[in-house]
Structure 1
Amino acid sequence: MGIKDLLKFMKPYVEPIHINKYANKRVGVDAYSWLHKGAYSCSMELCMNMDGDKKFQYINYCMHRINLLRHHNITPVLVFDGGNIPCKSLTEQQRHSKRKSSRELAMAKLKEGDINAATEMFQRAVSITPSMAHQLIQILKSENIEFVVAPYEADAQLAYLSSLDADKGGIAAVISEDSDLLAYGCSSVIFKMDKYGNGEEIIIDKVFSSTGRLPSFVHFTEELFTGMCVLAGCDFLSSVPGIGIGKAHALVSKYRNLDRVLSVLKYDKGDQMPKDYFVSFKEALAVFQHARIYDAESKKLKHLTPVRETLLHYSAEELDFLGPELSSSQASAIAEGELDPCTMKWFNAVPSCNNQLKKPITVNNPSKWLSSTEPPSQILKQEEGCFTIVSSHKTGTKKITLMEKSKPMFNLEQLSDLKQLTTSSKVSSKVERKRSSMVPNNNPFKKQKTTVTNECAIDVIQVDDSETAPGSQMPKSVVEKKSVTSGKKVESNKNTILNFFSRCSS
């Protein structure tokens, strides 16, 4: 989310640019910001865990942007988020709760037939998971595109790369939608870059040196600027009631000392200021200055900047708010996209040369990924026994109802095949399912070949277990209808989504 209203407040310092300004240079990319944008076009498929190639549109989106940079002779360096640091746990819980509520609203709108409203809610509900990032990373590896998975916040990792020279792996600018990059001290940040390469840029040195623009930052240092951002409210600490970005800027401009600002706030706000606000403020400020990042040269974690003297007396565990320490082997495996930074589990089989990493190290307050969807196997298991299959032949009609989960008449693979048939827009007598060309061969969602040998029409009824029709053992249902004929294309009278959520006539 970033610093509330910061970009709007900094509008006088925003300059329109085209990305070709950084030709022949290295530019960092906040990868999750691209993944989020790419997921909007397939949010329903991701939230409902649907099958089909459209589910991977987020990969196409990211690769289009990457190819745009390469077209202008820019070397892209993608940086992915890692695990959540402890002081951000409350923010993550709130975001998860909002995503869950949005998903429930989306499902309700779908049942009502309001596709537009449902799509908007699904876009709010979609969650970017490490497994989605892993899918993109496989493409990056095959294309020899530079990337790194940060141990914690990608923003801190990008700020670290911004501080390095180009010959040591440094970057000249960062592409993101997150205003946190300014609080971390990135020298140049490009926001709102479109598919043509047009964007808006803020260069922090120009902000501090400009004398003819308001608001003025002439007497600001990087620490005062970051302190202003924390006062206004960030992911690590909510603001004091009545303190927004404008008031925070006025206080810092007037007193030019953060301790003095906190004292004034305590006097003015009294009981409105939380009792632990002073400590929380210092810790949030320290995260922006000293967060743990990955150093590719030493293959270890280090601090964004050396820890200041006031934190030297902290024990290793007390410094976990900067990101818990990780072993060198774990840090490297995460950075290379082999180890899930949230669950500390391997994405693929553990190689023999890394046997020492088979048992993950437990850290204090480990973050648990909060996903809005369930694995395909779990969803199919829940739906098992909740399908009615009506097979219409020339010689008659046969209806089979699966009601008992303990005695399924079809296995999970067959049910998955039926679900594929109902969401396909074109089915021939021999249906060969192919994954998207952008998805790597080790894609866990890879589909198997399925052959339809009989000419038939199939109605599949998916039900919501939470509702049951009065006087009937069969729950209320939502219906999808698809006609399948050998070698012929059959058009549905309604669009696919409405078919999925409305009962068809028998």
Structure 2
Amino acid sequence: MGINNLLKFMKPYVESVHIKKYAGKRVGIDAYSWLHKGAYSCSMELCLNMEGDKKFQYLNYFTHRINLLRHHKITPVVVFDGGNIPCKAATEEERHRRRKANRDMAMEKLKAGDANAASEIFQRAVSITPLMAHQLVQILRSENIEFVVAPYEADAQLAYLSTLKAEEGGIAAVISEDSDLLAYSCPAQIIFKMDRYGNGEEIILDKVLNAVGCVPSFQKFDESLFTGMCILAGCDFLPSVPGIGIAKAYNLVSKFHNLDRVLSTLKFEKGRQMPEDYPKAFKEAVAVFRHARIYDANLKRLKHLKPLTPELLQRQDEELDFLGPDLPPSLATAIAEGNIDPSTMEAFDHIPQFRNHHPTILGSPNRHLRQDATALSPQESCFTVISCHKISKQRIKGNLSGVPSTRRVLTNTLEKRKLKPTTEEVLHSNETLALEKLAFPISNEASKENKKVTNGIFLDIPNNNPFKKRKLGEVILGQADEVVQQSSEVIEIENSEIMFVTTESQESVKSKPFNISQRHSRNKSEKKLNKDHSQCSETKKNSILNFFSRV
């Protein structure tokens, strides 16, 4: 994503900054960069298409940062990516292949019982879809937060907005994770790696090109040469020639100060390692970074980021499709307003919406900032399927059909997570049940010690009987009569054998009901002893009288 190793190479020009620096200004946001970061916390739920609110944590992530900007009196302007540019097709295909491979690998790890490894791999397998972006668009629209869907690349749209004045809809800074903004010659201040508290790293291209005494030095570079260096290092539109990285690209451009001479030198040095069509693809990549199609909200139509050069003007409209095909004004406006899927050109009204989810309302930014960002809390693992929101039922969809469904109460899990259960979770297959057990990282020993009863109702019986210990997990409501009967038998045993209980054992029990029974039994035993003693003395007396009577 972006130019290979560019930000690391530009480290001498990076300055620490806090977002409050832009209070009272308009700041652009690369929406997909935040969506990708937010999706890491629920990557498994998204990849497995689990139902429930857990997989919408990426929306909580996004809205928390929107509220952070609003708290600091910043006006957010959210920009979404649109359709794919033709010259980016190879990159998108490769990314899709890697995501699929990572998903397959994560599923293998999950089935093998390694949930931690599976979670990390799922983060590399998750993909942000236009439908997910539209879910965020609905929230932004309900809160009157300004947004626009770019016809193609959001970076180009952000670079265009940076050239406008505030009253024309322009922005003073951009928050992004994509270094492509530098290749687009974005004049605004660019903030990378912004954390949840508003701290980030800032780079200003104008300072980079005019800095004195910094290494690497760009004093003899202009915007076109800087863009050419970025393309040589490798970008989304064109992979680099083998052996050419950002440092080598910088050395070549700073040595020749001419992109055509750089290409000639590469052809001579690399020979067959350099593809035959590389010079043509290189020039087209330069044209995309300089003249990409963007949406003009004032004119309600598409136009180029910068005016076309005479060489490009000589081409037919069809020959400029590598910049992004031109669109009718009505279609471009519908895409920009978030009403049409930019990939399929279908209206979102005809696409099934997510179920069982209530969009997160932003409300007061101060109120949300006082909360401890539940979406980012380390106590909430990304494997949690049960949510704090009230949902009737949650289902995990498995690939196996026809397998008998299994029902179980997740009371133990809820107790471990201190969540209030609202209903049961329904699982559809034995494979899914195994996945769920992996998704809830609770030890088997702890789960065995917990109480398990039907309908989630526990029978409260004290576990303080030293004579007969019983497993509470085996007690269910249907056996209540048997439990009472067994308890009465135990009490009878206690009453009959209480005389043989030592003082130490009585003190170890420390049970009030048992102490009462002790005292009661002790009184009965004393009465019985007295009675036996009196009977014995009377018998002796009667025997003496009988002896004298016979005499």
Whole-angstrom CA distance in 2 between matches of 1:175 and 1:308: 30
Q: Say if 1:424 and 1:342 are closer, same or farther in 2 by CA, change over 3 A.
A: farther
Counterpart residue number, 1:127: 127
1:351-378, Cα deviation, whole Å (9 max, x unpaired): xxxxxxxxxxxxxxxxxxxxxxxxxxxx
Normalising by structure 1, what TM-score?
0.74
Q: Say if 1:484 and 1:89 are closer, same or farther in 2 by CA, change over 3 A.
A: farther
Deviation at 1:261, TM superposition (A): 1.3
Paired residues of 2:49 and 2:397 also in contact (CA < 8 A): no
Counterpart residue number, 2:180: 180
Whole-angstrom CA distance in 2 between matches of 1:309 and 1:250: 30
Deviation at 1:387, TM superposition (A): 3.2
* CA RMSD between the two structures: 2.7
Q: Say if 1:98 and 1:479 are closer, same or farther in 2 by CA, change over 3 A.
A: closer
Whole-angstrom CA distance in 2 between matches of 1:116 and 1:433: 25
What is the 5 A alignment of 1:332-347? 332-347=333-348
The answer as to 2:405 corresponding to 1:385 is no
Counterpart residue number, 1:461: 429
Q: Say if 1:463 and 1:486 are closer, same or farther in 2 by CA, change over 3 A.
A: closer
Deviation at 1:257, TM superposition (A): 1.1
Deviation at 1:237, TM superposition (A): 0.5
Q: Say if 1:161 and 1:388 are closer, same or farther in 2 by CA, change over 3 A.
A: same
Whole-angstrom CA distance in 2 between matches of 1:56 and 1:390: 25
Counterpart residue number, 1:143: 143
Counterpart residue number, 2:327: 326
Q: Residue type matched to 2:282 in 1?
A: F
Whole-angstrom CA distance in 2 between matches of 1:489 and 1:80: 51
Flag as ranges the 4+ runs of structure 1 deviating above 6 A: 421-424, 481-484
Paired residues of 2:398 and 2:431 also in contact (CA < 8 A): no
Whole-angstrom CA distance in 2 between matches of 1:26 and 1:256: 36
Counterpart residue number, 1:284: 285
Q: Say if 1:238 and 1:480 are closer, same or farther in 2 by CA, change over 3 A.
A: closer
Whole-angstrom CA distance in 2 between matches of 1:484 and 1:128: 41
Q: Say if 1:433 and 1:323 are closer, same or farther in 2 by CA, change over 3 A.
A: farther
Deviation at 1:326, TM superposition (A): 0.9
Deviation at 1:460, TM superposition (A): 4.9
Q: Residue type matched to 2:297 in 1?
A: A
Whole-angstrom CA distance in 1 between matches of 2:154 and 2:108: 35
Counterpart residue number, 2:214: 213
Whole-angstrom CA distance in 2 between matches of 1:108 and 1:232: 35
Counterpart residue number, 1:34: 34
Q: Say if 1:484 and 1:240 are closer, same or farther in 2 by CA, change over 3 A.
A: farther
Deviation at 1:250, TM superposition (A): 1.0
Paired residues of 2:79 and 2:147 also in contact (CA < 8 A): yes
Whole-angstrom CA distance in 1 between matches of 2:35 and 2:411: 24
Counterpart residue number, 2:195: 194
Counterpart residue number, 1:44: 44
Paired residues of 2:403 and 2:428 also in contact (CA < 8 A): no
**When you count helix as a share of all residues, which structure comes out higher?**
2
Q: SS at the partner of 1:147?
A: strand
Q: SS at the partner of 1:317?
A: helix
Q: Residue type matched to 2:429 in 1?
A: I
Counterpart residue number, 2:13: 13
Counterpart residue number, 1:230: 231
Deviation at 1:423, TM superposition (A): 11
1:404-458, Cα deviation, whole Å (9 max, x unpaired): xxxxxxxxxxxxxxxxx8799659xxxx999xxxxxxxxxxxxxxxx88xxxx98
Bigger Rg, which one: 2
1:180-220, Cα deviation, whole Å (9 max, x unpaired): 01000112210000011000000011101111100000011
Whole-angstrom CA distance in 2 between matches of 1:186 and 1:114: 44
Counterpart residue number, 2:297: 296
Paired residues of 2:28 and 2:77 also in contact (CA < 8 A): yes
Deviation at 1:329, TM superposition (A): 1.1
Whole-angstrom CA distance in 2 between matches of 1:123 and 1:238: 24
The answer as to 2:77 corresponding to 1:109 is no
Whole-angstrom CA distance in 2 between matches of 1:86 and 1:109: 35
Whole-angstrom CA distance in 1 between matches of 2:226 and 2:8: 15
Ranges in structure 2 where 5+ consecutive residues have no aligned partner: 352-395, 438-446, 460-551
Paired residues of 1:458 and 1:484 also in contact (CA < 8 A): no
Counterpart residue number, 2:167: 167
Q: Residue type matched to 1:312 in 2?
A: L
Paired residues of 1:160 and 1:293 also in contact (CA < 8 A): yes
Name the count of aligned residue pairs.
398
Normalising by structure 2, what TM-score?
0.68
Counterpart residue number, 2:547: none
Q: SS at the partner of 2:349?
A: coil
Q: Say if 1:488 and 1:71 are closer, same or farther in 2 by CA, change over 3 A.
A: farther
Deviation at 1:487, TM superposition (A): 6.5
Paired residues of 1:422 and 1:480 also in contact (CA < 8 A): no
1:133-166, Cα deviation, whole Å (9 max, x unpaired): 0001100001111100111110100001011111
Q: Residue type matched to 2:170 in 1?
A: G
Paired residues of 2:414 and 2:421 also in contact (CA < 8 A): no
Q: Say if 1:318 and 1:459 are closer, same or farther in 2 by CA, change over 3 A.
A: closer
Identity of aligned residues (%): 67
What is the 5 A alignment of 1:340-419? 340-349=341-350, 383-389=400-406
Paired residues of 1:106 and 1:118 also in contact (CA < 8 A): yes
Q: Say if 1:348 and 1:242 are closer, same or farther in 2 by CA, change over 3 A.
A: same
Whole-angstrom CA distance in 1 between matches of 2:283 and 2:57: 41
Q: Say if 1:190 and 1:489 are closer, same or farther in 2 by CA, change over 3 A.
A: farther
Counterpart residue number, 1:64: 64
Q: Say if 1:64 and 1:260 are closer, same or farther in 2 by CA, change over 3 A.
A: same
Paired residues of 1:83 and 1:342 also in contact (CA < 8 A): yes
Q: Residue type matched to 1:108 in 2?
A: E
Counterpart residue number, 1:243: 244
The answer as to 2:172 corresponding to 1:155 is no
Q: Residue type matched to 1:185 in 2?
A: S
Counterpart residue number, 1:305: 306
Whole-angstrom CA distance in 2 between matches of 1:159 and 1:184: 7
Whole-angstrom CA distance in 1 between matches of 2:180 and 2:284: 16
Whole-angstrom CA distance in 2 between matches of 1:256 and 1:458: 65
Whole-angstrom CA distance in 2 between matches of 1:77 and 1:339: 19
Q: Say if 1:222 and 1:459 are closer, same or farther in 2 by CA, change over 3 A.
A: closer
Counterpart residue number, 1:76: 76
